[in-house]
Amino acid sequence: MDWFYPTSLARGYSEKVVTEVWDILRAFASFGFCKAHAAAFALPTYQSAWLKTHHTAAFIAGVLQHDPGMYPKRLIIDEARQWGIHIAPIDINLSDGSYHVERTSLPTRAAYVATNTQSSGQVLELPDASGYAIRMSLQDIDGISSNEIETISAGRPYLDIADFIYRSGASYPTTEALISIGAFDQLHGVDKGVLNRRDLLLKLKDMKGFVSKKKPNNAQISLNLLSSDISPSGLPNMSKSEIMEQEISNLGIDISAHVLSEYAQFLNHIGAVRSCDLITKRSDELVLVAGVKVALQTPPVRSGKRVMFLTLDDGYGCNDLTFFEDTQTDYAQILRRSSLILVEGHLRKTGPRGISIRATRAWELDKAHASWHQSAHLRSKVAR
């Protein structure tokens, strides 16, 4: 104001006009930030939408590389699967500190096709990135250091696990994690069935004294000290659930499959609905949904009553559920302590494709599945 009035008056504008303009500007200041904020986001939003449509795999790889912000990485991985992108595991000779896009002929899940609805009146054209893969990065390994990533990358390619142990500069825990998540599977032909990850872990244990972060990555391997021979131990390979446990433990992400795939038979049996299929249901219909807890929020509301907002990821998208105060007494503890949750609730359509669920009941998915499995086992025994 100190600048505006003198400058405007000096340019010949009357005090009445200057005051009127100033009052308009002052009023605009109360909401102008919102418009400026929207304008500032318009360009990057358009750019992101264009990149996601025309270069889907590269866009998602970039999002993973530069931190997805409020969304966990596993949610971005799930979205990549929806567009037909193969998630390539960490490989000791192919992975480094960045996510890479690769061509692949491996079969993947068919790209998601959005169900059309009469209310929208439009057919959505969604990205199809089939034929592409995103190679996971070494940076996802829990506890790995930036120095280890550099020395591992600089030492590639590796001939076998003994060569890696001697030259990579990786610590014992990092090497153990790499074996457990399958980073040596391709190098040692684990998919051929002769060796498995347990055999490689035993080899690592035998060579524990040679694992040192101080070994130069360009050092020549001493065949007198290290033997690359690995004999099958006879131990069974890791099961699918064990592989997934190792991925979640060491990466925080389920790479080989979505964690809910282990419960598919049970969820189909009880009639649980995938998030992508909820749009086909009627408003106020009672539905069952399940998923991995993505977020749980309890913001204050105007009425003063407590409301809990839960977001679940089922591998086909996210479900937003609301637990009002009358349901929280029985289920608040389940929502807080459980990561896999089964929920019953009434569906509510909030727009052409907007959906929310008012929750009425909730269960720990693990316990519900175990109970069903036990009862199915008992029924089978009785039938015999």
State the DSSP string of 58-103.
Answer: HHHHHHHHT--TTS-HHHHHHHHHHTT-EEEPP-TTT--SS-EEEE
Q: What is the pLDDT along the chain (384 residues), one digit of tens a residue?
A: 678 888 999 999 999 999 999 988 888 777 767 777 778 888 889 999 999 999 999 999 999 998 767 778 888 998 899 899 999 999 999 999 999 999 999 888 777 777 766 555 566 677 788 999 999 999 999 999 999 999 999 999 999 998 998 889 999 999 999 999 999 999 999 988 889 999 999 989 988 776 654 555 455 544 444 556 788 888 888 988 899 999 999 998 889 888 999 999 999 999 999 998 898 888 899 999 999 999 898 887 777 778 899 999 998 888 999 998 888 888 999 999 999 999 999 999 887 778 899 999 999 999 999 998 887 655 555 454
Beta bridge partners of 348: 356
Return the closest-CA partner of residue 217 out of 137, 147, 149, 152: 152
Can you give the pLDDT at residue 289?
A: 96
Which amino acid, 62? G
Can you give the pLDDT at residue 334?
A: 94
Can you give the pLDDT at residue 222?
A: 43
Can you give the pLDDT at residue 382?
A: 47
Q: Are 244 and 259 in contact (CB under 8 A)?
A: yes
Compute CA 233 distance to the chain's CA centroid, rounded to the nearest angstrom.
Answer: 35
Q: Are 346 and 360 in contact (CB under 8 A)?
A: yes
DSSP per-residue codes, 144-195:
--HHHHHHHHHH-S-SSHHHHHHHS---HHHHHHHHHTTTTTTTTTGGGTSS
Q: Which CATH number fits the domain 263-383, given the four candidates 2.170.270.10, 3.40.109.10, 3.40.50.300, 2.40.50.140?
A: 2.40.50.140
The dihedrals phi and psi of 293, each to the nearest 5 degrees, come to -65, 120
Can you give the pLDDT at residue 328?
A: 82
Can you give the pLDDT at residue 29?
A: 74
The continuous run of DSSP H or E covering 41 comes out as helix 32-54
d(Cα 131, Cα 129) in Å, to the nearest integer?
Answer: 6
Residues of the chain with CATH 2.40.50.140: 263-383
